[in-house]
Structure 1
Amino acid sequence: MKGPLETAVLGVRTVSVPVTDQDRAIGFFVGVLGFEKRLDAPLPQLGARWIEVAPAGAVTSVALVAAKQGTPAADTGIRLTTSDAAAAHTELAARGVAVDPLLVWEGVPPMFTFRDPDGNTFQMIEETPA
């Protein structure tokens, strides 16, 4: 195996999440989670749109890509942060979002798993200010 690239990777711009209804996904990410819509462009080559959403000020965005027929829901591996996991858990549950129990373990930030309307899973983790 060769060494690292000579041209450095600078960051992660976008991660993709498959969704069956792009407008419903925008409603969830923008209307429920409070993300901003950064890009919504037709992508006729794929018969859908390229949509990017992100928390305000975030560097990395989430692309809401049209799922192919029969694409199962994914464990996205995406960890979102919040200043108060318990409050976020309560608020999301009150809005009808499928949330798992709030996990509070000694020495670990409070966290929980939730699902978007397609069943894709995300984790919300409490982050204390530095």
Structure 2
Amino acid sequence: MFTVADQDSAVAFYTEVLGWEVRMDVNWGEGETAGRWVEVAPAGSTARLALNPPMGGEPGGGSIGIEVADLAAEKARLQAAGLVAANEMPAGGPVPAMFSINDPDGNWIWVVQAD
């Protein structure tokens, strides 16, 4: 689960910039107890990422890893979308090559070369 300042903006980032899919988007409750549950995921993934307002404190600070078949191609695609690849790590021993990007709320997304 990632905490985000604005669920609509977060959904737009994950779907329009990253190309992920909305898997669930439901409202629940009424009045002061009302809320919204939103889940997104990379196409074909069985894992889901919930995007929720913070329950006190600031949004951001989460971390998730996703595997891609072609790390260099994914890096080029994300950079073309205006994202900055950081923390690049080459493969070494049992650790695969990877880099990170941040969503607009400061959550970390680690992009990892699949075996």
- Where does structure 1 lack aligned partners over 5 or more consecutive residues? 1-15
**Quick check: which one's helix share is greater?**
2
Residue 99 (structure 1) shift: 2.2
Residue 18 (structure 1) shift: 0.3
The one-letter amino acid of 2:57's match is: G
- Where does structure 2 lack aligned partners over 5 or more consecutive residues? none
Structure 1 length as normaliser, TM-score?
A: 0.74
Structure 2 length as normaliser, TM-score?
A: 0.83
> RMSD over aligned Cα, in angstroms?
1.9
Aligned to 1:43: 28
Structure having the higher Rg: 1
1:86–1:110 CA contact under 8 A, matched in 2: no
Instruction: Considering Cα pairs closer than 8 Å and 6+ residues apart, tell me whether 1 or 2 has the greater RCO.
Output: 2
- Between the two proteins, what is the percent identity of the paired residues? 37
In the alignment of these two chains, the number of paired residues is 112
2:53–2:59 CA contact under 8 A, matched in 1: no
Distance in 2 separating the partners of 1:42 and 1:23 = 13
SS for the counterpart of 1:102 is strand
Distance in 2 separating the partners of 1:49 and 1:38 = 13
Aligned to 2:101: 114
The one-letter amino acid of 1:21's match is: D
